[in-house]
Amino acid sequence: MLGSKKARRWAGLFVGTALMGSLLTGCGGGEKSADNEIKVGANFELTGNVANYGTATFEGLQLAIDEANAAGGINGKQIRLVKADTKSETSEAVTAATKLIADEKVKVLVGPATTAPVIAETQIATEHKVPVLAPCATSARVTVENGKVQPYIFRSCFIDPQQGDVMAKFAADNLKAKTAVIYIDSSSDYSKSLGAVFKERFEAAGGKVLMEEAFLQKDQDFKAALTKLKTANADVLFVPGYYEEIGKIVKQARELGITSPILGTDGWDDPKVADIAGKDALNKTYFCTHYSEKDEQVKPFLEAFQKKYGHAPNVFAALGYDAGKLIVDALKRAGSDDTDKITQAIAATKDLQAGTGTISMDANHNPIKQAVVLENRDGDRVVAAKIIP
């Protein structure tokens, strides 16, 4: 999800870098793949600022791979995840991706969870013709750059424009909002993209954005900007961002007397938001996400995850599981560990039943799937709308 203008520069800088073996864990150094296994690289933020996202996504991926291996694997071969820690740094992500692809000879690369490092690793993956599946990177630039589809890059989540569109429609149609204010994280491409799409679609629907303010990741005090936004007396406040800042923003907004609905996107989808903001402050807040835990079709995944890890999954775990299901399905249909055949199989994915619902891959390498808007209500999450793009 996180974006960066430096992503391409990091890629060029680190593709030829000498690599540290300590970046990888749970793998056999540089040894060749055994004849009875297929190596899949797992490049995730396991430590650092967004470790909560990376760790959860990896857990979901691991569950899907474990299930496939327990069922006999792929044509008699077991899938082996080769795990790397990006430390939540784009430079580390590119270094690790280079080692996974060039040295470990993985057949597919999954991750990272956030946008900037996925974009940064695109160069090395494309050069080696290794498909990348991004579970949670929602920026449109991940799969399409300057109007051209990246041939080896795919994702298992919906894209920012869809989220911004969904929340603009929800504000206008479901909440009957006529006016809005927007509060974005100016250090995040994810947040900036969502803010721009929301404004465009909300105003196209007849609404008016009265004011826009910005904060920076890791900010602690948001009251000055929130006080300005309060003066607009808008019907809704749209805040696309991540859980650490969102919890504080919602809490401080309510303390300042902002009682209007506050809207967000999938970066909100973490229990820590409630821990930080408090359940009362979260009343009348809504966010777009990938599934509802109350959906019957999601229950098998929820139960399997709970059994394996002893805790409930969040949306990032679900998207990691979806990515794993996509990989397993593509490997089966490819009938080979040839990376071009695997790439073609991922692109041809159709009506796959995954963790969050049914997925088909479109021409831009983005999944066609339903979006869910959840309402926070007295400590619970209630489905407020289901919107198909």
pLDDT value, residue 314:
87
Pairing of strands 24-25, 78-85: antiparallel
Q: Which residue has the tokens 């209007």?
A: 260
Q: Where are the alpha helices (DSSP H) in the chain?
A: 7-14, 51-70, 90-98, 115-127, 160-169, 189-204, 223-230, 243-255, 272-277, 279-282, 299-309, 315-334, 339-347
Peptide bond into 313 cis (omega under 30): no
SS3 call for 227 = helix
The size of the chain, in residues, is 389
Give Cβ neighbours of residue 113 (< 8 Å, ≥ 6 apart): 1, 44, 45, 50, 53, 54, 57, 135, 136, 137, 316, 320
CA atoms within 13 A on the CB side of 173: 14
Give the per-residue pLDDT at 389.
62
Instruction: Work out the angle at residue 154's Cα, subtended by the Cα atoms of residues 102 and 271, and round it to the nearest 5 degrees.
Output: 105
Six-digit token pair at 228?
Answer: 């300005």
Q: What residues of the chain score a pLDDT lower than 50?
A: 1-23, 25-33
Bridge partners of 134, per DSSP, are 155
pLDDT at 15: 42
